[in-house]
Amino acid sequence: MKKALITGIGGQDGSYLAKLLLDKGYEVTGIVRNLNSVDDKKFKYLGITGRIKLLEVNLMDLSNILRVLGNEDYSEVYNLAAQSSVGLSFKQPIGTLEFNIISVANLLEAIRIAGPKIKFYQASSSEMYGNVSRENLPVNENSIFMPVSIYGISKASAHWITNSYRKAYGIFASCGILFNHESVFREDNFVTKKIINTAVRISRGLADSLTLGNMDVRRDWGYAPDYVMAMWLMLQYKEPADIVVCSGQAHSLTEFVKTVFQKLDLDYKKYLKSDTKFYRPLDLQVVYGDNSKAKKCLGWEYSLSFEKLIEKLVDDEIQYLDWQAGAKGK
């Protein structure tokens, strides 16, 4: 039985990846910052509570990671732990840079010392590209990184550290350059979660407005459960690689809001408000990717249209809210 270690297992991607690996027969261990503060709602909802082993590990401490790798024979390590909010990265720049860079270096160094045969997946991000001119879109694996956010800078640094360990030490280290991917497990500070959750609450008479910032940004949005499959496929590929995972289409935040509200038979204009406090100091205007390499090398296909994605996210949110209400009532 293969053993996999997932950092950031309590997040959106970590939870879905844990479910995927368990279904494939893996023994899954997850790293968390604090065992006493683990919110296991996602695990319960996915039906994997009790099937995963959780370890409290400080990823800023190399000795801690060495001890973990020395205790088990892991075949794959998926690094999904990060301060992952672009907005928060402007408010906490030093903490974002320190954790998102040093934790990756520590994991790779621990693998170099204790388990050089371990396959390593690093979660890179489309934020690394920064503001790309329209003639250079869509971006791919060979596009230049020019990040504008602190988060993007931290992810670009971690990306190059991973590449360096791959080339210098022969470690099987792959980077998945994932574009925005959504689900019911998105944290509340992400705008897509805020939009969908608020719209559903409005439809139920539990809220009366939605307040947002810049509506003109255009993003490449996809479905998180489909994207974690690409993560797994990368570590099954014949060689380590950097691979873009995206839908290949860009849509504006206005389109996102309009489509969500239409799904609920609501006119978004009646409920939408704007507030400059939700604007970021620096923001990407438009970015979308080319997933040709993922198709060619991994056989990974993304098939959801934008409208089907929104429909699925809204249906999932309603189901998840109803489940949470039922769980509280028990």
Catalytic residues: 125, 127, 151
- Which H, E and C letters describe 83-114, residue by residue? CCCHHHHHHCHHHHHHHHHHHHHHHHHHHHHH
- Dihedral pair phi/psi, residue 43, rounded to 5°: -65, -40
Residue with tokens 């470690």: 171
Neighbouring residues of 294: CB distance < 8 A, sequence distance ≥ 6: 230, 243, 244, 245, 300
* Strands 181-182 and 210-212, bridge-based pairing: unpaired
- Closest by alpha carbon to 80, among 10, 170, 159? 10
3-class state of residue 277 by DSSP: helix
Neighbouring residues of 32: CB distance < 8 A, sequence distance ≥ 6: 9, 10, 38, 54, 55, 56, 57
In this structure, are residues 78 and 30 in contact, taking their beta carbons and an 8 Å threshold? no
Alpha helices (runs of H) in the chain, residue ranges in sequence order? 12-23, 41-46, 62-71, 86-91, 93-114, 150-169, 191-203, 224-236, 253-263, 292-293, 306-329
Q: Which residues of 48-59 are buried (b: 16+ CB within 10 A; e: fewer)?
A: beeebebbebeb
* Strands 27-32 and 251-252, bridge-based pairing: unpaired
Measured CA to CA, the distance from residue 189 to residue 18 in angstroms comes to: 23
